Amino acid sequence: MAYHGTPRRVVVTGMGAVTPIGLSVADFWTSALAGKSGIAPITHFDTANYETKFAGELKGFDPLSYMDRKLAQRVDQFTQYAMAAAEQAVTDAGIDFEKTDKERAGVVFGSGIGGFKTFQTQTGNMVERKSPDRISPFFIPMMIPDIAAGRLSIKYGLKGPNYATVSACATASHAIGDAMMLIQRGMADVMMCGGSEAGICEMGIGGFNALKALSTRNDAPEKASRPFDKDRDGFVMGEGGGVLILEELEHAKARGAKIYAELAGIGFTGDAHHITEPAPNGEGAQRSMRMALKDAGLRPEEVDYVNAHGTSTYYNDKYETAAIKAVFGEHAPKLAVNSTKSMVGHLLGAAGVVGAIATVMSIVSNEVHPTINYETPDPECDLYYVPNKSEKRTVNAAICNAFGFGGHNATLAFKRYSA
């Protein structure tokens, strides 16, 4: 890393999440340990003409639990999800921003696509009426991916660093890593970070179908997301969001905050290879993981668990496996490797933060959730993927991977906190 000062330690003190298997971190984690699938037939729109008819939708989410009706109508769903997860995380952290230096508290929060549904709806309005006067005055501020970060900053009065990351499926992990660096460098003491996505709409499903990226296992949607399984046939779209509250260690201790874990290292790399396919043998992923381990001061054999990107696509699962084997060597078969996406689907810009929450909860509880739907071993994917049933396992150090279209790679390294 270019910064040569002494970096300040960064810890996780709050978490919030809305996911297809739970609308809180507690419910998400209970469902994850139980191996519950959140994948079901799509209800958001009529799928009669679509190759894929299922996804990981949020069940029972009510934005009015987090905002008034007027605001709910003026923000896209991805921002609703962000605000819900943020409120949970702030409550969980027990932080009173009225007693915090707001100029030293900020937000880095991203979305891979932003207001996709808003864009689709407003475009339809204009085309149907053949007139731009049918476009809502809220169209632009509802659609732009940075607006969730802006809304969170406004709601809590946070005047420190405030921006969005956009790196496809690595978005939330980049947001978390950036927030960590801002704290390390002394530019902030508290950061709200993560990502959200709401892309289950006609254009979202239709677009990924056109790319031939989605599973079409319509006869058994709950079994469609099957990372590392030989019979995988594409990823499953999910929606939702997650937020971490990161704090500088001394700031957290001074206010008596509970500390979930330490965010000890990050690794960011680029494949420079292809717009959708990862580099052969996960070359970029290898460098990302090695960078995160070095940054965290971890030897490969000290890592207990890898929360894999694990998309249930042929090349990702094959090359991520190869990358883990290359980085961890003889230790690789001893790792617990799992994919949260087997249950929630692929939350795109929110995938990294949901994986990070699962990673932190594994450190807290010394349990790792299963990779469900693992039925037929693939000779090219030959690690231990915690098949179908959660297990007790001491987790003192873990990494969480997120890789995005465009060749974006991000790895977060967490440690059990010790003074």
Q: What kind of fold does domain 10-254 have according to CATH? A: Peroxisomal Thiolase; Chain A, domain 1 (3.40.47)
pLDDT mean over 135-152: 97
Assigned token pair, 88: 């949970």
Structure tokens at 320: 């991520």
Segment 229-233 shows an average pLDDT of 98
More confidently predicted of 4 and 291:
291
Q: List, for residues 2-45, the tens digit of each pLDDT value.
A: 455 688 999 999 999 999 999 999 999 999 999 999 999 999 99
Q: What angle do CA 251, 256, 259 make, to 5 degrees?
A: 80
Ordered by start, the domain boundaries in the chain are 10-254, 266-415
- What secondary structure, in 3-state letters, does the chain show? CCCCCCCCCEEEEEEEEEECCECCHHHHHHHHHCCCCCCEECCCCCCCCCCCCEEECCCCCCHHHCCCHHHHHCCCHHHHHHHHHHHHHHHHHCCCHHHCCHHHEEEEEECCCCCHHHHHHHHHHHHHHCCHHHCCCCHHHHHCCCHHHHHHHHHHCCCCCEECCCECECHHHHHHHHHHHHHHCCCCCEEEEEEEECCCCHHHHHHHHHCCCECCCCCCHHHCCCCCECCCCCECEECEEEEEEEEEHHHHHHCCCCCCEEEEEEEEEECCCCCCCCCHHHHHHHHHHHHHHHHHCCCHHHCCEEECCCCCCHHHHHHHHHHHHHHHHHHHHHCEEECCHHHHCECHHHHHHHHHHHHHHHHHHCEECCECCCCCEECCECCCCCECCCEECCCCEEEEEEEECCCEEEEEEEECCCC
What's the confidence (pLDDT) of residue 319? 98
pLDDT value for 1: 38
Pairing of strands 190-197, 261-270: unpaired
CA angle 72, 21, 340 (to 5 degrees): 115
Task: Give mean pLDDT, residues 325-334.
Answer: 98
Question: Residue 52: is its pLDDT beyond 60?
Answer: yes
Q: Is the pLDDT of residue 176 over 90?
A: yes
* Mean pLDDT across the chain: 97
- What does the pLDDT read at residue 4? 57
Q: How far is the C-alpha of 239 from the C-alpha of 250, rounded, in Å?
A: 35
Higher pLDDT, 131 or 268: 268
pLDDT digits (tens, 9 = 90+) for 256-281: 999 999 999 999 999 999 999 999 99
Give the chain's end-to-end CA distance (angstroms, integer): 24
| Whether the predicted pLDDT of 191 surpasses 60 | yes
Q: Which residue has the tokens 């052969």?
A: 280
| Residue 158, φ and ψ in degrees, nearest 5 | -85, 120
Q: Answer yes or no: is pLDDT of 371 > 70.
A: yes
* Residues of the chain above pLDDT 90, percent: 96
The answer to whether the CB of 413 falls within 8 A of the CB of 265 is yes
Cα 165 to Cα 151: distance, rounded to the nearest angstrom: 15
> What is the distance between the alpha carbons of residues 313 and 202, in angstroms, rounded to a whole number?
22
pLDDT digits (tens, 9 = 90+) for 89-102: 999 999 999 999 99
Which residues are catalytically annotated? 169, 309, 346
Whether 367 and 393 have beta carbons less than 8 Å apart is answered as yes
C-beta separation of 284 from 225 below 8 A: no
Tell me the average pLDDT across 61-70: 98
> Hey, do 10-254 and 266-415 end up sharing a CATH topology, with the first three levels equal?
yes
Q: Domain 266-415 class?
A: alpha beta
pLDDT over 80 (residue 133): yes
Interval 407-412 mean pLDDT: 98
